[in-house]
């Protein structure tokens, strides 16, 4: 099972007079990546290298460091921790001593790894979006059952009752189908409308 991280974390270290600062942040889309990188744009840095992974999509950037010495080791740290939906940014302020390609790989990968060590990991659980409906007279019972199962839902009151949209873990689908059929005496069916990976 893939994991993501709960919140933004930061780590800083000095390696041979160069200062390295890592940020790890959970992201859901490429737009969130761009927004965070824009927010953290820092003209005082020598390099701002990063990598991200969202689902099966990955990108990385060496930002002027020798090819393969920064972005790829950062990505390797993300994948080595079995993470997805994560962006890691590592800033470097050059301190006057060259690290060499091996040193850069260790510095960027190490800083990314140390940053991710400080993050709380959570399992990504696949979910599906479902729609269902019931009469007003059935709503209290259905609402109770949804709350008992910790199912998130949005209700809409319509002419003949309540229409719902909820996000279901895969193991909640069958029991809820049966419950709905039972409650509405077969009148209503659970409709799955879209599948999504959700954190």
| Segment 90-95 mean pLDDT | 96
pLDDT band with cut points at 50, 70 and 90 for residue 184? confident
| Mean pLDDT over each residue of the chain, to the nearest integer | 90
pLDDT at 194: 58
Helix (H, G, I), strand (E, B) or coil at 148: helix
pLDDT at 167: 82
pLDDT band with cut points at 50, 70 and 90 for residue 196? very low
> What letter would DSSP give residue 83?
B
Per-residue pLDDT for 189 more than 80? Answer: yes
Q: Which of 107, 129, 121 is nearest to 47 (CA)?
A: 107
Checking DSSP bridges between strand 57-61 and strand 125-134, what pairing results, if any? unpaired
Contacts 24+ apart (CB under 8 A), 136-143: 136/160, 136/161, 136/162, 138/183, 138/184, 141/183, 142/179, 142/180, 142/183
Burial 155-185 (b: 16+ CB within 10 A, else e): beeeeebbebebebeeebeeebbebbeebbe
pLDDT at 197: 45
């Amino acid at each position: 099972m893939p994991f993501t991280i709960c919140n933004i974390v930061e780590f800083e270290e000095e390696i041979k007079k160069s200062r390295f600062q890592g940020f790890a942040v959970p992201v859901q889309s490429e737009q969130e990546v761009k927004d965070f990188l824009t927010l953290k744009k820092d003209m005082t840095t020598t390099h701002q290298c990063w990598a991200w992974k969202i689902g099966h999509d990955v990108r990385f950037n060496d930002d002027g460091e020798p090819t393969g010495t920064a972005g790829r080791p950062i990505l390797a740290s993300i994948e080595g921790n079995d993470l997805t939906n994560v962006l890691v940014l590592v800033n470097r302020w050059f301190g006057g001593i060259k690290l060499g390609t091996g040193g850069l790989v260790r510095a960027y990968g190490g800083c990314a790894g140390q940053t991710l060590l400080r993050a709380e990991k959570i399992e990504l659980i696949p979910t599906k979006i479902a729609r269902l409906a019931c009469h007003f007279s059935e709503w209290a019972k259905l609402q109770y059952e949804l709350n008992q199962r910790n199912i998130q839902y949005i209700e809409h009151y319509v002419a003949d009752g309540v229409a719902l949209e909820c996000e279901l873990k895969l193991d909640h689908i069958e029991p809820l189908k049966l419950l709905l059929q039972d409650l509405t005496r077969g009148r209503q069916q659970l409709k799955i409308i879209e599948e999504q990976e959700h954190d």
